[in-house]
Chain A
Amino acid sequence: MTDPVLSVRNLNIHFHGATRTTHAVRGVSFDLGHEKLGIVGESGSGKSQTGRAIMKLSAPSARVTADALRFGATDLMAASEKQMRTIRGRDIAMILQDPKFSLNPLMKVGKQIAEAYRIHHRVSAAEARQKALAMLESVHIRNPERVYEILPHEVSGGMGQRIMIAMMLIPEPKLIIADEPTSALDVTVRRQVLAVLDELVERTGASLIFISHDLNLVADFCDRVLVMYAGRVLEDLPARDLGRAQHPYTRALLDSLPRLDDPRAELAVMQRQDSWRTAPIGGQA
């Protein structure tokens, strides 16, 4: 791989509480090229914390350490808050789970999209409006002129998430971190939103980190998958090989899914093993 877009080496995140310290992310390393990388795992596996650490949006109580956290030529570990403010949005964008909570409820959606553009580009309001309208059209919203003028409570979940995508992609970021972007959506709408995201990622040549608990979705949508458990990356494999994953944890996750093509009386229940937390991980740099 030539010049990774993002390079993470030995990322650790600790949360210091009054009585105990939680080691949420333990020595995560990966390189990201021009690809769609999925991160899967259960709740509490550290997948979202990893995404947040890249944006330097970890909670104040978190202590983040890494041997390297490089975005292109920028050392994110050394970047000041001021530098991060120009990087966030312009270079690295984040799409969150629920558009209901991540859009400003008192501001017209078009204005929010235009604002995202104007913060990073010196353009007139009229120009930003044109750009926002074009962006709404590119996320397949019919009648962008009308949608520009409405408030977030007037849009459906699927449309809200497309608006979020428009807003996050308008500054043309090089890296997009999508944290469970479709978990709040219906299966049929999910397809549309993913198609829109895929199309824009292809067109702008951005890299994508796709955080999800849905193995099927990740296998379908991403190029490569990291499987996380208890803060560590257990497996790093091409998405199309997910069905042939080796690690017992990944296998157990796959087996616990009810399947349409393979009916069974009883679903396999995962027997967790301590060695998954501690054993050295094969194939990991």
Chain B
Amino acid sequence: MSDIILEARDLTIEFGEGATAVTAVDGAAFKIRRGESFGLIGESGCGKSTILRAVAGLNPEYDGDLLFDGVELPDTRRREHYRAMQMVFQDPYGSLHPRKMVQSVLAEPVRRMGLGDEQRRIDEVLRNVGLGPEFRFRYPHECSGGQRQRIAIARALIVEPKMLLLDEPTSALDVSVQAEILNLLARLRRELGLSYLMVSHDIAVVAHMCDRVAIMRHGRILEEVGAQDVRAGRVSEDYTRDFLAASAPAITA
């Protein structure tokens, strides 16, 4: 078992053909160690979500290599790959089926992966994300934004993944609820030994959650810095410095 859980080598993703082709990701490379939390940060359109989608297998058209556990991911992912890497989307209002009860939202991945022991898994995962068993019989519209995001996290966790792909998991939430969800994600990573690949435009959130951060612009990874260096402002690119300055907190106690 190698120490690196996910590696991207010269990852390039293009959309369209010929004169109208757009290079969304241009030669991105990074390595994520087992149990590590890695952040991708940048403005809209910089390609951070495109990388995430390629890793998840939602966008099979890419050049370069993606290695999971030291083995190259095939174009058509097999069930074990989907099981190992699960995605949590930005908008908990859009990512849950409005006409499915939480029970069936959570039961489906268990059945698809053929894991069995459905009810025990559902009860356990709900407890794990801090929701009571009564939530099994609720529809998404009966839950608040924070509760929905917990359900989305539960849906990702129920198949016992090794890695979570987090696409701006708290940007649709209030700051008070954001704190709850970030705490939950930090606890789950600690307890379950997960690795995270997290995309966000909020540098304070990424610095809080991640060990290392890659700053992206125009499809390229400009630089990779440790969370400590981000906090101390030890960065080498001008753009990163601008980005940090634009996100600097105005409130001083």
Contact = CB atoms under 8 A, between A and B. Distances in A.
Interface of A: 42-43, 157, 186-191, 213, 215-217, 219-220, 242-244, 252-254, 256-261, 263, 265-270
A213 B171 CA distance: 12
Contacts of B204: 257-260
Interface string B115-154: 0000000000000000000000000000001000000000
A269 B253 contact: no
Contact of A216 (B227, B249, B253): B249
Contacts, number: 91
A219 B209 CA distance: 25
B229 to A, nearest CB: 11
Interface stretch (B21-29, B54-62, B178-186): B178-186
A260 B231 contact: yes
Interface string B234-253: 00000000111011111111
A267 B173 CA distance: 15
A270 B207 CA distance: 21
Given A187-B201, A261-B231, A243 B183 contact: no
A266 B208 CA distance: 9
A219 B248 contact: no
B176 A260 contact: no
Contacts of A257: 175, 179, 204, 249
A240 to B, nearest CB: 9
A111 B230 CA distance: 45
B145 A43 contact: yes
B251 A187 contact: no
Contact of B251 (A189, A254, A263, A267): A254
Contacts of A253: 175-176
Given A260-B203, A269-B179, A215 B231 contact: no
B246 A242 contact: no
Chain B interface, DSSP helix/strand/loop, else mixed: helix
A254 B253 contact: yes
B251 A242 contact: yes
A207 to B, nearest CB: 21
B44 A190 contact: no
Contact of A188 (B182, B246, B248, B251): B246
Given A260-B203, A269-B179, A187 B253 contact: no
Given A188-B43, A266-B183, A261 B249 contact: yes
A243 B246 contact: no
B205 A187 contact: no
A147 B122 CA distance: 54
A267 B231 contact: no
**Residue from B243, B247, B249 having most chain A Cβ neighbours under 10 A:** B249
B191 interface: no
Contacts of B230: 260
B174 interface: yes
Given A260-B248, A267-B179, A42 B186 contact: no
A186 B201 contact: yes
B43 A189 contact: yes
* A-B CB proximity, top 8 nearest: A220-B250, A258-B208, A256-B179, A267-B179, A186-B43, A42-B174, A243-B251, A243-B253
B233 to A, nearest CB: 9
Given A186-B44, A269-B183, A216 B178 contact: no
Given A242-B251, A254-B251, 12 more contacts: A42-B176, A42-B177, A43-B174, A219-B251, A253-B175, A253-B176, A258-B205, A259-B204, A259-B249, A260-B231, A263-B231, A267-B183
B181 to A, nearest CB: 10
B215 to A, nearest CB: 12
A233 to B, nearest CB: 18
Contacts of A217: 250
Nearest to A267: B179
5 contacts: A213-B174, A216-B249, A258-B204, A259-B204, A260-B247
Interface string B213-237: 0000000000000010011000000
A257 B207 CA distance: 12
Given A187-B201, A258-B182, A270 B176 contact: yes
Contacts of B180: 269
A269 B43 CA distance: 28
Contacts of B182: 258, 267
Residue of B145, B201, B253 most packed against chain A (CB within 10 A):
B253
Contacts of A269: 176, 179-180, 183
B175 A256 contact: yes
A72 B178 CA distance: 40
A189 B209 CA distance: 24
A7 to B, nearest CB: 29
Nearest to A41: B174
